[in-house]
Copies of this chain bind each other. A is one copy, B any other.
């Protein structure tokens, strides 16, 4: 180990992290982050946003969420929790972390080691389930 690449702190990196942290519950996509940061630093490029997003995720500062569609979404909370997605309005909500002991059991009984999971619940959110279609 040892030989880890030396990492530099740049304005771009800080701004990308800020943007994700300021996104609250929104779970923005990369191009949304791009737009936000660009409002502050107009010269930043999309490639840089992606590189910093991945670096931040690798260092455990932010989380990446895959919701079944093609694009990745970013989350100020690094991990552990799950998500609920409304199939009608697209609203995304954080759910508390779960141990998933029951579910992981099947895998463990097959001799596998479970180290993590991704869980997305689908349905109708309160607003969509209440209002007329």
Seen from chain A, the residues whose Cβ lies within 8 Å of a Cβ on chain B are: 66, 68, 70, 82, 84, 86-87, 93, 95-96, 98, 100, 102-104, 106-107, 110-126, 129-130
Contact = CB atoms under 8 A, between A and B. Distances in A.
B96 A119 contact: no
This protein's copies in its complex? 2
24 contacts: A66-B68, A68-B118, A70-B70, A84-B107, A84-B112, A84-B114, A93-B110, A93-B112, A95-B106, A98-B102, A100-B103, A100-B121, A103-B119, A107-B123, A110-B126, A111-B125, A111-B129, A112-B124, A112-B129, A115-B122, A116-B121, A117-B119, A118-B118, A118-B120
B119 A115 contact: no
Contacts of A124: 112-113, 115
A98 B26 CA distance: 28
Given A87-B115, A112-B125, 17 more contacts: A66-B68, A70-B70, A82-B103, A93-B107, A100-B119, A103-B119, A104-B121, A107-B123, A110-B126, A111-B129, A111-B130, A112-B126, A114-B122, A117-B119, A118-B118, A118-B120, A119-B119
Given A68-B66, A106-B96, A118 B113 contact: no
A87 B116 CA distance: 10
Contacts of A123: 107, 112-116
